[in-house]
Amino acid sequence: MGRSYIVEEAVEGYLTKQCEQVGPVTGLLIGQSSTQREFVVTATRTPQREKKSAAAAGNSLDKEWVTEHARQVSRMLPGGLSVLGVFIVADTEAKDTVTTLRQLVFAVENLISSERLWNPADDDVTDSVALHVNPKTRKTFCRTFDVKDSKSVAKPADWKYQSGVCSSWITVSCCLSVDLLVPLPDNRTDTEDMDTCLKEGLKVWAHQLEGGVCLIDGKKLADDTELSGGQKRNVRQTYTAQLLITPEERRSTDVVQRCGGSVSVRGAIHSRAYLHSNKPKAKLAEKLLKRDAVSTVATRAQILLEELLTSQKDKHQREQFCLPRRVFCPVKGSGPVCVCDYRFSDEGLSEVTDRLKEMLDMDVAEKDLDTRQETPAEVLEADAAAEPTVETIEALEPKRNNYIGVAMATAVTLLATAVSMLYLNDV
């Protein structure tokens, strides 16, 4: 028997709308996996590409463009939400799209998983969904592939629409303090080496976080403790968590290595996870919350470092940069579930709504955005005077689609609640 997909009825309307478009339409299916069933919360089509690459010019489907869109969308999903698979709306026989959908499913999973810094768990679901919709008959054909098996073949799956899929989902959130130091290589112009160092440093921190203690509403719950309140429809159940990390002790075998600088990430971030209402356990809440914390820190640090490598690589000085703040936006018709974006200090809310429209095809008003969870750092004159070597630099122009852009600040030693800073030091 194949897997069962419980789909928010708004997704049916969205796919019907895509049937009115000209030519094949591809997109992503977003939701949450569980051992018993899958929950599809929303769907989003692949944005139109202004200029196709030479390789894609002769194909109606641009695999590289679809997978890059999936990577960007994956960054905008809080804990508990992920890209479950892909859909295609095409006037062809379902059997003729199997190969194409299989290629897309594996390509999307490979790219998204390459950015993950947390280790997979034994109970993680490895099936991805591939949905074909015929725009003439409006019939849907649902299949799954095991993305961890390169020889996996298509398996039939059950696709059912239902209202209020997320109306009784549970929200678990926490504010996590971050203070980590990552050494950089001698050759700071080597982008690949710097990216590798940053990823390895974040992996060490992620491992520490993975082994940390999670308190839910101030208590350490047993893994199999069922979180109550998830069975009542339209009743929002929220939990406040704490993630406690014990730094690893230095060993006598540790050695001093030569490096060309360091990246220090300090501050606090808001982490959040959503849990399905089918008897969710404390173990799942802890796993999803920790994964979200790792992902959101890695996303902010990596996109900022990418910009620094191209724009500031020849400067040799100590600099301080504000990492982007997390902004949440509710998914209409999906209860408490939200997606997120990252807003730099030099950006307005209109730029956030533009990205939500382009990446997730969401029509959002600025008043719908939740900007309260993270606040900017307070820059004090005394702090600036204490660090005369730090220069104030003009804000860089953010790059569209890549969420790259930074607002440089003067020296800061006191940080407001739920904001993160990145320090780039020369040695």
Q: What local confidence, expressed as pLDDT, does residue 96 receive?
A: 86
Query: Rounded to an integer, what distance in angstroms lies between the CA atom of residue 345 and that of residue 409?
Result: 10
Give the Cα-Cα-Cα angle 346, 348, 353 (nearest 5 degrees).
135
Tell me the two tokens of residue 423. 């320090």
DSSP-assigned states of every residue in 324-388: PEEEEEE-TTSTT-EEEEEE-TT--HHHHHHHHHHHH-----GGG-B--S--PPPPPHHHHHH-T
Q: What local confidence, expressed as pLDDT, does residue 235 receive?
A: 55
Q: Give the mean model confidence (pLDDT) for residues 363-375.
A: 93
Which band of pLDDT confidence, cut at 50, 70 and 90, is reported for residue 290? very high
Residue 233 has pLDDT above 90, yes or no: no
Bridge-based pairing state of the strands 127-133 and 82-89: parallel
Residue 266 one-letter amino acid: R
In the predicted model, what is the mean pLDDT of the chain?
81
Q: What local confidence, expressed as pLDDT, does residue 420 receive?
A: 58
Residue 383 has pLDDT above 90, yes or no: no
User: How far is residue 168 from each of residues 158, 160, 163, 236, measured CA to CA in Å?
Assistant: 22, 18, 12, 6
Bridge-based pairing state of the strands 4-8 and 158-162: parallel
Q: What local confidence, expressed as pLDDT, does residue 197 receive?
A: 81
Poorest-confidence range of 172-186, 292-306, 316-330? 316-330
Query: Rounded to an integer, what distance in angstroms lies between the CA atom of residue 252 and that of residue 255?
Result: 8
User: How far is residue 71 from each of residues 109, 120, 402, measured CA to CA in Å?
Assistant: 9, 18, 10
Q: Check residues 230 and 426 and name the one with the higher pLDDT.
A: 426
Query: Rounded to an integer, what distance in angstroms lies between the CA atom of residue 105 and that of residue 219?
Result: 40
* % residues pLDDT > 90 (the chain): 54
Residue 14 has pLDDT above 80, yes or no: yes
Give the Cα-Cα-Cα angle 127, 142, 149 (nearest 5 degrees).
25
Which band of pLDDT confidence, cut at 50, 70 and 90, is reported for residue 388? very low
Pair 406, 395: CB distance under 8 Å: yes
Residue 270 has pLDDT above 50, yes or no: yes
Residue 346 has pLDDT above 50, yes or no: yes
User: How far is residue 142 from each of residues 86, 135, 153, measured CA to CA in Å?
Assistant: 10, 15, 13
* % residues pLDDT > 70 (the chain): 75
- Name the pTM for this structure: 0.85
pLDDT, tens digit (0-9, with 9 covering 90-100), for 304-317: 766 666 665 444 45
Q: What local confidence, expressed as pLDDT, does residue 409 receive?
A: 27
Tell me the two tokens of residue 406. 């930074």
Q: Check residues 301 and 152 and name the one with the higher pLDDT.
A: 152
Residue 49 one-letter amino acid: R
Q: Check residues 232 and 61 and name the one with the higher pLDDT.
A: 61
Q: What local confidence, expressed as pLDDT, does residue 426 receive?
A: 55
DSSP secondary structure letter of residue 42: E
219 by Cβ neighbours in 10 Å (0-12 / 13-18 / 19+) ranks as exposed
Query: Rounded to an integer, what distance in angstroms lies between the CA atom of residue 323 and that of residue 404?
Result: 10
Structural domain boundaries in the chain: 4-162, 170-426
Containing 27, the helix (H) or strand (E) segment is: strand 25-33
Residue 391 has pLDDT above 60, yes or no: no
Poorest-confidence range of 57-66, 73-82, 104-113, 143-152? 57-66
Q: Which residues contact 252 (CB under 8 A, 6 or more apart)?
A: none
Residue 344 one-letter amino acid: F
Q: What local confidence, expressed as pLDDT, does residue 201 receive?
A: 87
Residue 231 has pLDDT above 70, yes or no: no
Q: Check residues 246 and 54 and name the one with the higher pLDDT.
A: 246
Q: What local confidence, expressed as pLDDT, does residue 174 receive?
A: 96
| Strand segments (E) across 134-235 | 140-146, 155-156, 158-162, 170-184, 213-216
Poorest-confidence range of 113-122, 350-359, 378-387? 378-387
Q: What local confidence, expressed as pLDDT, does residue 198 receive?
A: 81
Q: What local confidence, expressed as pLDDT, does residue 308 receive?
A: 66
Q: What local confidence, expressed as pLDDT, does residue 45 receive?
A: 97
Q: What local confidence, expressed as pLDDT, does residue 79 receive?
A: 96
Q: What local confidence, expressed as pLDDT, does residue 236 receive?
A: 57
Of 3.30.70.100, 3.40.140.10, 3.40.190.10, 2.60.40.3500, which CATH number belongs to 4-162? 3.40.140.10
Query: Rounded to an integer, what distance in angstroms lies between the CA atom of residue 415 and that of residue 268?
Result: 8
Q: What local confidence, expressed as pLDDT, does residue 317 receive?
A: 56
Residue 414 has pLDDT above 50, yes or no: no
Residues in the chain: 427
Containing 58, the helix (H) or strand (E) segment is: none
Tell me the two tokens of residue 202. 């974040």
Listed residue (64, 65, 61) closest to 88, CA to CA: 61
Which band of pLDDT confidence, cut at 50, 70 and 90, is reported for residue 385? very low
Tell me the two tokens of residue 317. 């000085």
- The single residue listed with the structure tokens 């977003």 is 30
Query: Rounded to an integer, what distance in angstroms lies between the CA atom of residue 186 and that of residue 217?
Result: 45
Query: Rounded to an integer, what distance in angstroms lies between the CA atom of residue 385 and that of residue 268?
Result: 24
Instruction: For residue 195, count other CB atoms closer than 10 A to its CB.
Output: 14
Q: Which residues contact 365 (CB under 8 A, 6 or more apart)?
A: 353
pLDDT, tens digit (0-9, with 9 covering 90-100), for 139-193: 999 999 999 999 999 999 999 999 999 888 999 999 999 988 888 776 655 556 6
Sheet holding 237-244, edge to edge: 213-216, 237-244, 170-184, 261-275, 420-426, 319-322, 407-409
Q: Give the mean model confidence (pLDDT) for residues 285-290.
A: 96
Residue 357 has pLDDT above 50, yes or no: yes
